[in-house]
Amino acid sequence: MELYMGIDVGSVSTNFALIDEDLRVVEHLYLRTQGQPIAAVQTGLREIASRIRPDDIVLGVGTTGSARHLTGTLVRADSIKNEITAHAVAAALVVPDVRTVIEIGGQDSKIIIIQDQVAVDFAMNTVCAAGTGSFLDQQANRLNIRIEDFGDIALTAQSSVRIAGRCTVFAESDMIHKQQLGYDKAEILAGLCEAMVK
């Protein structure tokens, strides 16, 4: 089978996808970067290689993410694209009339405005970690829940509690205070989700 590989290396996760000529995902892999992008890429390549057949051939490789250039050099990528472009192209492929993409990354969050399948504007939250995936990950860990369950638990809340979301220190202090007042995890997580949006 003729395949194409995409590698997204960010501050929190390293993701691999293999697609066929019809753009169907054949294999995918999610790994934690753990501050070691080279090791994560090497581990991922070994894992992906073990999943494909000996007669499969990878015709092209593209990289994205905060370590896209490093990864591109490691794997001799055919294409190196920033996350804005990668998200816009992927979203337009899946939802042709897409107008907005919101991405919560490990070190920043982005909103991308799309017109006629082209990214025309974007904004990033890079000032404070309160609006990032790393912060959500830390809070899930502090509340002793898996990050994979974060959204599902938040959706069970009957109401949400107001959480200060402009700063990680204030948000965490506010969450601890709300726990001491007796609010449950679901209400706190729902409040945190709303704070991120604001």
CATH number reported for the structural domain that contains residue 29 in this entry: 3.30.420.40
Tell me what pLDDT residue 44 has: 97
Cα(147)–Cα(149) distance, integer angstroms: 5
DSSP state of 57: E
Domain annotation covers residue 38: yes
Q: Which domain holds residue 54?
A: 2-81
- Position 109 in a domain: no
Q: Is residue 90 part of a domain?
A: no
Residues near 136 by Cβ (< 8 Å), separated by ≥ 6?
104, 147, 150, 192, 196
Residue 20 lies in a domain: yes
Mean pLDDT value of segment 34-51 = 96
At 104, the pLDDT band (50, 70, 90 cuts) reads: confident
Summarize the confidence of residues 148-156 as an average pLDDT.
92
Number of domains in the chain: 2
* Averaged pLDDT score across all residues of the chain: 90
Mean pLDDT across 158-165: 85
**Within-domain flag for 86:** no
Q: Residue 172 — very low, low, confident or very high, per pLDDT cuts 50/70/90? A: confident
Query: Is the pLDDT reported for residue 110 higher than 90?
Result: no
Least confident of 41-45, 67-71, 137-141: 137-141
Give percent of the chain with pLDDT exceeding 90. 66
pLDDT band at 133 (very low <50, low <70, confident <90, very high): confident
Domain boundary among 59, 81, 103: 81
| Helix boundaries (H) for 76-156 | 83-94, 133-142, 150-155
Residue 124 domain-assigned?
Answer: no
For residue 45, pLDDT beyond 80 = yes
Q: Is a pLDDT exceeding 80 seen at residue 42?
A: yes
Together in a domain, 72 and 137: no
CA triplet 138, 108, 68: central angle to 5 degrees? 110
